Amino acid sequence: MSSLGISSKVQFDLHWRGNLCDYVTARHLAWSDTPTKSGAPLLAASSAEGIVVWEKEDLAWDGRVLARHEDVVESIQFQPKSHLLASAGIDGLVCLWNQGKRLNQILDGANGGFSCLSWHPQEFQLAAGGKNGELIIWSKGTRGQGFGRR
């Protein structure tokens, strides 16, 4: 055992390698914690150019571009136990993507843009931090209206 408590016999093998695009540099990566119909989780990658969500289809991974942000996407994260992806950008928007495919809701509130976000691990709450020191928490509405500010 190493000093970090990790077995020295652990070995990782390359599972798949692909390109987001020739001009894209991945800034953040996020896995869903639940599998899709294929049995694999979704993988989202953000960059200065936008978001790509990768889904395993048979033997290959297919990428889908999510377009709505008008500037750099600073943070992405899947809601626990779901495929709802949240993305926060310098454009001052938090976008919620249903199944990592369709824009479900747009949240705002940070005039200088957002720098980070995080889902509550057990409840339907989303927190986001603004570039000017804002902290905003949204909670899922009880009438199926999506997320409202708390």
pLDDT for residue 7: 47
Q: Provide the 3-class DSSP secondary structure of residue 108.
A: strand
| Contact between residue 20 and residue 64 where contact means Cβ atoms under 8 Å apart | no
Query: Could you report the per-residue pLDDT of 5-45, keeping only the tens digit for each?
Result: 544 555 555 555 565 554 457 788 999 999 998 899 999 99
pLDDT for residue 93: 92
pLDDT for residue 100: 86
Query: Could you report the per-residue pLDDT of 79-121, keeping only the tens digit for each?
Result: 999 999 999 999 999 999 999 889 999 998 888 999 999 999 9
pLDDT for residue 13: 52
Q: Long-range contacts made by residues 50-58, C-beta under 8 angstroms, separation at least 24? A: 51/76, 51/85, 51/87, 51/97, 52/20, 52/21, 52/24, 53/85, 53/97, 53/100, 53/101, 54/18, 55/100
Confidence of residue 150 (pLDDT cuts 50, 70, 90): very low
Which of 55, 149, 150, 51 lies closest to 103 in space, CA to CA?
A: 51
Angstrom distances, CA of residue 17 to CA of 29, 58, 90, 117: 14, 15, 29, 28
| Domain boundaries defined on the chain | 28-149
Alpha helices in the chain (DSSP H): none
**CATH assignment of 28-149, among 3.90.1150.10, 3.30.2350.10, 2.130.10.10, 3.30.70.1520:** 2.130.10.10
For residues 38-60, give the mean pLDDT: 87
Dist CA 41 CA 62 (whole Å) = 13
pLDDT for residue 143: 56
Residue type for position 41: P
Angstrom distances, CA of residue 109 to CA of 18, 51, 136, 141: 36, 21, 8, 17
Dist CA 94 CA 88 (whole Å) = 4
Query: Could you report the per-residue pLDDT of 62-83, keeping only the tens digit for each?
Result: 888 898 888 889 999 999 999 9
